[in-house]
Structure 1
Amino acid sequence: MVNYRYLGNSGLKVSEITYGNWITHASQVADEAATKTVHAALDAGITTFDTADTYANQAAEVVLGKALAGQRREGLEIFTKCYFPVGAKGPNDTGLSRKHIFESINGSLTRLGTDYVDLYQAHRFDYETPLEETFQAFADIVRQGKALYIGVSEWTAEQLREGHALAKQLGIQLISNQPQYSMLWRVIEGKVVPASEELGISQIVWSPMAQGVLTGKYLPGQPLPAGSRATDERSGARFIHDFLREELLVAVQRLKPIAEQAGLTMPQLAIAWVLQHPNVASALVGASRPEQLADTVKASGVTLDAATLAAVDEALGDAVYSDPEDTYTVSPKTRLS
């Protein structure tokens, strides 16, 4: 079964493995298959579920809500997000303005079939809206009981500091950041993590398997596997592109004996690796088939010894992305529409 960790400097516990439905529900897999994977997650001990209004343009929230219908609400931690264009994608159907935040949370609650979400997240930083406006809206949502806690996604260290200060002034808790993080993508380690540790903010990390590259199925010098994420635009092929460099794929193959020595599969090693970091509260995983979860959840509770961690670093060498300046390029400078 899955272990639990506290999320940030709060009393909220989340499962070390969070089930996320980006690029799967209402897109990659049929609704019936999506429901089966959600139920498999529950059976494996996962109680934390992450989605966003932008996933499949709001449809993914509907699928998740139906899949969770009938479950004891108090036994679940449900997260969603807002920022990216949704619905008709008009000029106010995006960003972190007060108008869009309120319309987004109300829509998300309806689609998810719940009165509140445990964590409401700013999906990116909005350079076109005053931060005071955004956090005042968040504070009002918390006081109305529509969200219990506030989080963000892919914010820089400076943005986290500003947001945390405003949240504290308004009497609410900013407790999490949701960045990309894996053995191959470590850009948060230089600035974001130290700031987060100081502020009491946890990381809920997405793509711990580097878009599937850390499963080892993408072989150097070989065609991309048929039906894989790299060959399917619906599955986020554009996100995996940077991880398909020949030298990187060669480095990943060097992880196989390390995983075997640790008694783990490659996916389990990838997830266990991110969970070794004390600032990581949970690793986000998706699944298109229930059996995928049966493998990945076994990474919860695994302790990797110092020799294994050193072997991973040696195997990957210069293939790792670690420049903290890359954290400043994620949020769009202007709203998308």
Structure 2
Amino acid sequence: MLRPIVFVCLLSLTFAALKRTAQYKGTTLKFYVDQQDTTIFAGAILNCYDKGGWLVMPKYSNLNQAVASVARGYEAWIGGSDIYGEGAFRWNDGEDVEWANWSPGEPNNGGNDQDCMKINHKMQSGSGNWDDDQCHDLFGYVCQIPNKKASPQERSKFTVFSGQNATSYFQAKSFCENRRSRLALMEDVNTFEHRVPGIDGSSFAEYWVSHQQDVDSCGTISHDGISYARCLQALPFICEQVAPYDLSVSDEEATLEIGSNLNVECSAFGFPTPEVKWYRHNVYVAHQKRGVAKSTLVLDNVNSEDDGMYVCKATNEVDGERSTTEGYFWLGITIILG
């Protein structure tokens, strides 16, 4: 039973396509899926580990709802299995699966070789139902990564301008901004060498990036690392668009008495500046105050029908495609008996 997992531990997929992200209690949920990088269960574990996190383990209802939402419309691996004992499902950290959300009739160990857990059974949009499946089948997966390790540049689209486009630092910055992007904010050579298209590995060229030491000295990047050059020098440069990141929700969970009031603010960063909106049951919430890259959910005189999950969505357009990051707020209602 262990042989397939041990064998594929050598097949970690380095270039995964990020489909959707969400914030959950100090961590980032990242959903990866695409035709070329769906993976087997063991590959999902290794890929999440390589990104500084773990294959998500939705041990509680709220986290399960968040995972179902971020992977909605797709079946995705989650971090549990019964590979060490048929029917005795455990999370990858060794804890027994206690709270569960199995689909009716599941787990059924179909074909006597279904040992690994996935969410959104039958691809029901955001169903959150679990199923056991063959560990060597190919699905997307959801990683849970501490925010301090979740780099926003994984959500960046870089464009290089060289040759006749070489210009001063300040003109390069304006050029990028006029194209609804920014001069790339790049912190390390690894991103430069592996995520920026069209970079010549043998070239010693420097490119303007968004660092300024003083009025005369501006940031560059090359294969040698971050450096500085005279700001008026003509150099090639890198523009960057960034899907929404660092989404923040002022309250993630609250229990209110009937008739109470509460405001919950959601904000995010991104380039272009994202639109931020609140939804409930996939319907736009009318009672919200929207601003630049933020929106405040206004809950006045709440009643029993207002409880449940509210979703904040920050959306912009990167390279012609809509990109979204989500955050969640759960409201519980308490009835006070006289």
TM-score normalised by the shorter chain: which range applies? under 0.3
Say which structure, 1 or 2, has more relative contact order (CA 8 Å, 6+ apart). Answer: 1
Q: From the CA coordinates, give the structure whose radius of gyration is larger.
A: 2
Length-normalised TM-score, structure 1: 0.24
